[in-house]
Structure 1
Amino acid sequence: MVRSAGRKRRSHGGIRLNSIDEPVDEALSPIKLRAKRSTSKLTSDQERLLSPLDLAYDELPTELMAGDDLNLSRWTLVVHDSCLAKLATVQTQIGWPSSNQTADDITPNAIMTLLTDLRKTSPTVPPKQPPTSVTLNLQGAELVSDGGVRHAIAALSIRLHALNLSRTTKLTDDLVRWVAANCKHLREIDLSYMVHLGGMGVCAIGESCPLLHAFSVRGCKHIPEFALLKVAHGCPLLTHYDISHCCHATDLVPRTLASTCHNLQLFYAQGCKEISDTGILSLSNGCPDLLHIDLSRSDFQYKLTDMALLPLSERCKILQHVNVSGCDYLTDAGLSWLAMGCPALAHVNVSHCVKLTDLSLRAVADGCIRLGLLDISGCPRMSDIGLRYLSVHCRDLHTLGLRSTILISDGLSLGRENAQGLAALSHGCKRLQHLDLTKCIRVDDAACKQIGRGFHDLRTLILFGCCSVSSTGVRDVSRQCHKLTLLDLSHCRLVDDTALVAIGGSDGGMPLLQSLRLRECEKVTTAGIQQLCKGCIYIRTLDLAGCHRLDDMALLAICDHLTELQHLWLAGLHSITIIGVSWLADRCINLMELDVTNSAISYMALKPLRAAWKYGDLREHGKVRGIVPKYRAMDMMFLDHYGTCWKAAIRIQCLYRAKVARRDAARRREQALVHWAASKMQSVFRGRQARQYAAVQRMLRRRQHDAATRIQASYRAHVARTLAERLRKQRDRDRYVRMVIRVQSAWRRKKARDVFNSKRLLKQAWEARRQIAAAVLQRAFRAYGWRNRNSLFSTALKAKKAEQQAAANKLQSLYRGRAARLEAQQKRQALKLFERKKEHAAMCLQRVIRRRRENRLHQRRLDEDAAARSAATKIQRRFRRRQDMLSYQLMKIGREFQLRTDAALRLQAAWRRKQGHMAKHMLRVLKDEQYQRRANAATKLQTRWRGRLGRAAAAQAQQAAIQRLVLQTKLENHLATVIQAGWRGQKGRQRYREAVDARKRRWKEVPNAEGTGAKVYFHQDTGEIRHRMPQDLLDLLPKPRCNDCDVEVAMVECGDCGEFFCNDV
């Protein structure tokens, strides 16, 4: 049917953003609609909060209410109880076909279509099944209450597997208890920073949610310890446990986790100052699969020492992330243990651990070759030598924090061949992306040159307080590091316009820069800012505080190029005026932070301009003056950007649909005319074609019949020849089998005779062994009688031997373990020694070559000095001879004095020795008497104790023998039962096969009573008659061979030719 040419298709008028969710109300019944409208009104508090925002949405869009990933964390500014009620309705009535849908996947038109289909569907037709698991994220939802959240969760029921209620100020402990009671299948729950959360709610989760995998109460300082223990006891499947800043947590919490949650992988205890080495020891013993652990703190640092890292290194071999920031009692030994025991470490934060030195970095570099992030900020004992160790092994390092590490420098003081510090790091760690050098006072232009030379993938570079860095260093960095997004040059007073020109240069520079800080860079002028803005148009954060040479022209350059600017600091700029700030208000509408402290801009001058910045508020507090970001300004910007994108999409869709409608109407008119002309021509042509086709079909049918007759005759001849050949081969195969059977029977008779002879000989040998065994048994029985008479002595002797053997085994196991570790350590040391020897040999060769070259020049000087030296030698010889004579006389006098002194000392020593011998003899006599008394008492005690141990060992041996006999009897009975069951099963299966075969043979083939000559099949038990052979008789027939291979049993019959084939064809 052709559409009318005068009828036009209207273009869609688009969707109003404030009424996107109206189709949902139409899908509700009148009763639900009235209830919905009664709850859709905002409260006075909500209206007061939302009225000054002027956002693109005043409530949650409908397209975000569907799917299984309900991530509303960015939308909680406009989420209130009525939105949650609407979300509950959508989730109850609409089952989405796909999961993890976002606003880009679902359009309002699609929602309207689905709701229309839902209304047209009969009430008896069930809706689509909703997703099996749903995630609900209400992080930061400050406008919702307990009732609204209950309504939403009740609609999700058992499908809710993950719930995030962090930073919700109005939700109370009653809601948490209700969630625990109604969501038994909950897998993840996040209750971080909930102000009204209490211990009873946490206890309810531990009692009612046994399937919980992730649990977080970060920042809830008032949670008691018994509630945390309740969760640890009631949720044995926990893999994520976050109790950061829970001040009441002690070592009992990790001890409980170790005893119940053996699959724990993430443990966060940041700021838990009562957790000590004992708790970490228990945790590492019970949770060997631990991946992340955070123990950073600022109080009670003495409770975490190296003994906390030792069990982690011994048992948690797959540990990847460790944060011990602020634990200043850790030393090089603890970090070395951790690095050697956990080779999978990728994230290590040891900032402000002041006792760590370069030895720690060496251990980390040797043991953690996959290290990606390392933070050693505030470790004053680490220097360039430690960075050289990192550069050798840690090739995958991408983040390095060196804040306040004052010994770090470029590392070129010993030459490029022995480079250390940043020079060595730039040579080895090419993948570094984030580098923090805050207050590293030894970093200068040479260090910046090494940074630019080695770190081409650098994204973040912080040089705050590096006073020696000038424009030359910044220029070297900008030539190579083109991917930088954050650069901090605050308090680098030597930086001037040359550096800004290099950063914003067209030949390289940093085109992707988003954040630049130039605080207190006094040499920066307006010309430098102009060049910077031309090359770096993506800057969103710019700090120019303290740059006194800037004026309004710099602000004009910022307005012309940096339209996406969000944060700007102009504190201390006395040359700027309100005119420049008005330019900012006109063009930088996304600006949410502006600092004009200590400048010519007053508070009253900024008042008329504050309406231009939607995401900032005008504030003046003391000397601080300017625009500050509104609460959750970034989320407001996201909502507006989302609405802008929707408006653009709707406009594009409307224009495109109008164009498509006009094009479709013109195409339909043209098709109608073509269809009328083609119909007439086709009717005439089809009649002629039909007559010709009928004549051709008759001729083809005759030819096909003749060809089929010839083919059948040829095929039947081929089948007959194949059958004759097959029968001949079958006769040959049967004759061959008969001959093989005859040979095998003769061989088996021979083997049987040999077996009989061997059995006879074995029987004779067995009789002989039996006689010998009887003699042995008699001898053993006589020995047993003698041992019974001397049981006490033998029992004590055996106990002593067993104790000695156990002690020897223990010593051997300990020695072997220690020997293995020593051997591994010796091998590593030998490898390192070999490398050192190679390096030493190379240096020796170089020294020999240089020495040989220098020796020739030195020999000449030696020859010239030889004559002068010989003359001086003669003079010195005579002088020394005289001196020797005088020294000999003095030595002779001193020797005589020494002899007299020694004689006096010997006399005194002999007298003192005699006195000492007498006192020593008396003391020895007294000690011998005391020792004899103690020895007698110890002998008596040992005799009684050994007698007691012997009696206990004899009783234990007798009990063990009885238990062995009982176990042997049980085992024999069990084996007999198993053998009988197997034999009965085999006989039962055999009887079952015989019964099935007999049942199949009850079918008989009889002639047809109608006299047609065909045969029918009659069942003797049921009386059933079939004209085709039943399946039971077909199973009894021998299966034919394959017509192709003639080896395998045929499984398939060809429907055309009737031949049989195996499965391999």
Structure 2
Amino acid sequence: MQYVSVSDRKELSRVNKTWYEASLDPRLLQDTVVVLHSLPSSAEETARICRRRHPHLTLDYVDGSSSAMQLFLTQCCDVMSVNLHSLSLKGSNVTPNTFVTLVSQCRSLTSLDLSCCNSLFMTGQLLEKPLEVAQLEAALVQVRELKLDSIRYLSDVMFSRIVGVCPNVERLSLAGSQMSFHSSAAYSGPSKSSCIFTFQNVLGFIEAHSSQLTSLDLSRTAINDIWIGMLAEVSGLQLQELRLVCCREVTNTGMTMLCRHMQSLAVLDLGQCTELDDETLYAISRNLHELRFLNLAGCRCISNNSVSSLYKLQRLETLNMSACYSIAPTAMMIGLCGKNGSPGLSHMTHLDVSCCSYVNDEMVISICAVLHALRHLDLASCFGVGDISVQFIVKYLKQLRYLSFAWCKNVTDNGMMGYIDNILQHAHHDHDDGGLCKCTRSQHSSLIFRRPSKNEPVEASSKMNALIDDRKNDSHVYHISELLHLRVLNLTACIKVTDISVKELRYLELKSLYLTMCPQVSDEALVAVSRNIPSLETLHVSKCGKVGDRGLLEVIDRLNRLKSLNISNCNAVTNRTIERLFVKCGRLRELDVSFCREVTPEAIEMLENNLTHLCCIQKRLVGSSF
């Protein structure tokens, strides 16, 4: 069992009782998580859940005040608590008494998530009694990760109580907390308030635990440069992970100081910090040589000058530059592939340059020659990417698991199937450095009418032509199905992809296929997909006008592992598909039938009332003549 994927293991467990018992071996459950959106209503269901003894349990937005919770506590926790390592109560309506009863039995916990548990902190009575404090101190002594995200009623007093019973916390998350970043002089009364949650109190906790704290998440808070500077200067604090997503008050001043003091950082998440620019990226490249994860998505002020210095981060494995519109391919190529003989980022496994409109074939070809270890590549909305890129990706990036060409309108059947002669015949050479057509009103006149800048474009073009000639001399046909390890393929809005190439897709382990807004994909393609990709779990064919009942019936009959199906805006789909879903899809969790004119509300209601395993059904304007 340990040599197969989780999906295959589920199938094997259905063969007979012996194989089912083998699938319950604790060694096979280390990475699996039980997610309960509602508590089991009967003792039989509870016993079935307890039997597996999973080490990770998530009660997702569950009502903890019901009788079902009491049944769960008495039967489930006695069995699961011994092996339970992580517990998430995110958004659950849990009372303080229920929380203490539940957690006090889980003495092996290493991770506790209380995000959005407003009811737990609303009354202010949590851990008021010394007996409760003693019980949780004994139970939570091994907790290393604590998440307190987006809790509306968190105060200094409540924060001190909850971290007091978790003395060995190493990873703390306060994302989305309503923290005050004013000085203590602005408040009267005791330093620890029962009404206000201040960062000064958090900073006191960080100073007291500086030698053990390794990760801090302050995303979506109002932290500014002053407090960033105070955090950076905490004696003995050497964070390995810091997340500041959507912290709009953070500027170059604070980040430069942080980079100088926190040179041990391996993970830095600055997504949507819109005030940061080249100065921050220069500071990162100059100081954070241990960095492995860097997220700069949405940092639109970053330009070519600093991106070309990324090659100094030799340990970098994950880079997200999504929606950094101003970066040209040449600068990105230098940053990723190196310059003047310096090695590129050869250890990189995840690269996201989606919505970088200047990314083109030349850049993709260059990174394919260097970043052979890539497993995740997102080129969504990179309008300069076409069939040549597809060919080099298939040839060099054999380890890819995630590949997105969403909104890449130059990707066609020729690139997908490896017809290099057709690719070269239809190639356009009248494009500028960014891969965009010169004769367009969307470009400023200074970009259309300008003198050639030195010899850089000529050198780049000659290099690209040499690589293309090398591919032309290679007689091998590089079909996209040669990416054997691929798990997710996103072809959303690839309007030139047709049934011809989709019918030839053959994968044994592909989990997700997105064909949304591919107008030339029809039932013929879905019939072939249902036969050639038996492992498919997620299929999106929204706004595919040629998709109807015939193709979807084949999908429902053959794809037994299907969990998510999106057929919204498919006007040829009727109640026949809904009726077949009711009979066949025993594992379907998500369904979107919005704006399907021929599907009636009565059919959807029948589906909702009878398929209890369906967690989410989108049904906007079903059957309407809009």
Q: Which amino acid aligns with 2:520?
A: S
Distance 1:145 1:437, change over 3 A: same
**Is 1:79 matched up with 2:93?**
no
Q: Does the CA contact (< 8 Å) of 2:316 and 2:345 recur in 1?
A: no
Instruction: State the match for 1:630 in structure 2.
Output: none
Aligned with 1:82: secondary structure? coil
One-letter amino acid of the counterpart of residue 460, structure 1: S
2:570 to 496, 512, 521: 521
Q: If each structure's helix is expressed as a fraction of its own residues, which one has the higher value?
A: 1
| Structure 1 counterpart of 2:250 | 223
Residue matched to 1:272? 299
How far is 1:85 from its partner? Answer: 5.4
Partner of 2:491: 437
Q: Contact 1:202–1:231 (CA<8 Å) still a contact in 2?
A: yes
* Secondary structure, counterpart of 2:494 in structure 1: coil
Aligned CA distance change for structure 1 residues 244 and 566 (closer, same or farther; 3 Å): same
Q: Which residue of 2 aligns with 1:328?
A: none
Q: Which amino acid aligns with 2:396?
A: H
Q: Percent identity?
A: 19
User: Conserved in 2, the CA contact under 8 Å of 1:404 and 1:439?
Assistant: yes
Change (3 A) 1:207 1:21: farther
Letter in 1 for 2:347: A
Distance 2:240 2:497 in 1: 47
Q: Which residue of 1 aligns with 2:334?
A: 310
Superposed, which structure 2 residues align to 1:843-882 within 5 Å?
Answer: none
User: Which of 360, 364, 383 in structure 2 is aligned with 1:361?
Assistant: 364
Q: 517, 520, 542: which is aligned to 1:465?
A: 517
**1:425 counterpart residue number:** 479
Q: Is the contact between residue 408 and residue 442 of structure 1 (CA under 8 Å) also seen in structure 2?
A: yes
Asked if 2 retains the 8 angstrom alpha-carbon contact of 1:192 and 1:219, the reply is no
1:244-269 CA distance string (max 9 Å, x none): 33333344434444555443333333
**Which residue does the alignment assign to 2:238?**
211
Asked whether 1:235 is paired with 2:252, we answer no
1:150 to 149, 160, 181: 160
Instruction: Kindly provide the CA deviation profile for residues 457-495 of structure 1, in whole angstroms up to 9, marking residues without a partner as x.
Output: 221111111111111111111112222222111121222
How big is the shift at 1:190?
A: 2.7
Match of 2:449 in 1: none
1:283, distance to aligned residue in structure 2 (A): 6.2
Q: Does 1:398 align with 2:378?
A: no
Aligned partner of 1:348 in structure 2 is 351
Q: Which amino acid is 1:435 matched to?
A: L
2:599 aligned residue (540, 543, 550): 550
CA contact (8 A) 2:93 2:117 kept: no
Structure number with the bigger relative contact order (C-alpha 8 A, sep ≥ 6) is: 2
- Partner SS for 1:166: coil
- What is the DSSP-based 3-state SS (H/G/I as helix, E as strand, rest coil) of the residue aligned with 2:170? strand
1:420–1:538 distance in 2 versus 1, CA, 3 Å: farther
Mapped partners of 2:608, 2:68: distance in 1: 32
Within-5 A mapping of 1:686-697? none
Residue of structure 1 in register with 2:556 after alignment:
504
Q: Which amino acid aligns with 1:162?
A: R
2:280 to 240, 253, 259: 253
Q: Tell me which structure has the larger Cα radius of gyration.
A: 1
The alpha-carbon deviation at position 16 of structure 1 amounts to: 8.9
Does the C-alpha gap of structure 1 residues 19 and 355 become closer, same or farther in structure 2, counting only changes over 3 Å? closer
Residue matched to 2:42: none
- Give the conservation status (yes or no) of the 8 Å contact 2:556–2:580: yes
CA gap of 1:414–1:398, structure 2 versus 1, over 3 A, is: closer
Match of 2:174 in 1: 165
Aligned-partner Cα distance in 1 for 2:198–2:133: 26
Aligned pairs (5 A) from 1:561-580: 562-574=611-623
Listed one character per residue, the Cα deviations across residues 680-707 of structure 1 (whole Å, up to 9, x for unaligned) are xxxxxxxxxxxxxxxxxxxxxxxxxxxx
Retained in 1: the 8 A contact 2:314–2:344?
no
1:696-735, Cα deviation, whole Å (9 max, x unpaired): xxxxxxxxxxxxxxxxxxxxxxxxxxxxxxxxxxxxxxxx
Report Cα offsets for 1:747-778 as digits up to 9, x if no partner: xxxxxxxxxxxxxxxxxxxxxxxxxxxxxxxx
- Decide whether the 8 Å contact of 1:438 with 1:463 is kept in 2: yes
User: Secondary structure of 1:160's match?
Assistant: coil
Helix, strand or coil: the match of 2:595? Answer: coil
Query: If the length of structure 2 is used for normalisation, what is the TM-score?
Result: 0.65
1:207-257 deviation line (CA, Å, top 9, x unaligned) = 215332222222111134433334333333222223333333344434444
Q: Is the 8 A contact 2:416 2:480 kept in 1?
A: no
The CA deviation string for residues 22-50 of structure 1, in whole angstroms up to 9 with x for no partner, is: 9xxxxxxxxxxxxxxxxxxxxxxxxxxx9
Name 1:909's counterpart in structure 2: none
**1:510 CA drift (Å):** 1.3
Pick from 532, 542, 555 the counterpart of residue 581 of structure 2.
532
Query: Secondary structure in 1 aligned to 2:294?
Result: strand
Deviation at 1:165, TM superposition (A): 0.9
Q: Which residue of 2 aligns with 1:455?
A: 507
RMSD: 3.9
Distance in 2 (alpha carbons) for counterparts of 1:481 and 1:182:
54
Which residues of 2 match residues 107-122 of structure 1 at below 5 A?
none
Shift of 1:92: 8.1
Task: Give the AA of the match of 2:490.
Answer: D
Distance 1:366 1:139, change over 3 A: same
CA contact (8 A) 1:497 1:523 kept: yes
For 1:214 and 1:175, locate their aligned partners in 2 and report how far apart those are by CA, in whole Å. 21
Q: Secondary structure in 1 aligned to 2:125?
A: helix
Judging changes above 3 Å, is the alpha-carbon distance between structure 1 residues 528 and 269 closer, same or farther for their aligned structure 2 residues?
closer
What's the counterpart of residue 386 of structure 2? 383
Task: Write the mapping of 1:814-825 to structure 2, written as runs, cut at 5 A.
Answer: none
CA 1:399 to 1:76, structure 2 compared with 1: closer, same or farther past 3 Å?
same
Instruction: Provide closer, same or farther for how the CA distance between residues 527 and 160 of structure 1 changes in structure 2, counting only shifts above 3 A.
Output: closer
How far 1:195 moved relative to its partner? Answer: 3.4
Offset, 1:555: 2.8
Instruction: Provide the secondary structure at the position in 2 that maps to 1:389.
Output: helix
Cα shift at 1:149: 0.6
- The 1:194–1:148 alpha-carbon spacing in structure 2 relative to 1, beyond 3 Å, is farther
The two structures have a TM-score, normalised by structure 1, of 0.40
**Preserved CA contact (<8 Å) 2:543 2:568:** yes
Aligned to 1:64: 103
Matches within 5 A, 1:829-908: none
The answer to whether the Cα contact below 8 Å between 1:191 and 1:217 also exists between their aligned partners in 2 is yes
- Which residue among 268, 282, 289 is the counterpart of 2:315? 289
Q: 1:57 to 1:447 in 2, by over 3 A?
A: farther
Residues 1:259 and 1:366: Cα distance change in structure 2 (over 3 Å): closer
Shift of 1:21: 10
Matched, 1:193 2:219: yes
Partner amino acid, structure 1, of 2:117: T
Pairs aligned (count)? 471
Structure 1: give runs of 5+ residues left out of the alignment: 1-13, 23-49, 102-129, 316-333, 576-597, 600-1065
Unaligned 5+ runs, structure 2: 1-46, 48-66, 75-90, 180-196, 425-476
Task: Tell me, in whole angstroms, the C-alpha distance in 1 between the residues paired with 2:218 and 2:303.
Answer: 23
User: Which amino acid in 2 is paired with 1:388?
Assistant: Q
1:186: Cα distance to partner? Answer: 4.2
Between the aligned partners of 1:540 and 1:224, the Cα distance in structure 2 is 42
Q: 1:62 to 1:284 in 2, by over 3 A?
A: farther
What's the secondary structure of 1:348's corresponding residue? strand
Alignment partners' CA distance in 1, 2:278 and 2:415: 48
How far does the alpha carbon of each residue in 1:359-403 deviate from its partner, in whole angstroms, 9 at most, with x for none?
Answer: 433333333333222222223333333322222232222211111
Q: Which amino acid aligns with 2:390?
A: L
Distance in 1 (CA, whole Å) between partners of 2:238 and 2:284 is 15
Residue 136, structure 1, aligned to residue 175, structure 2:
no
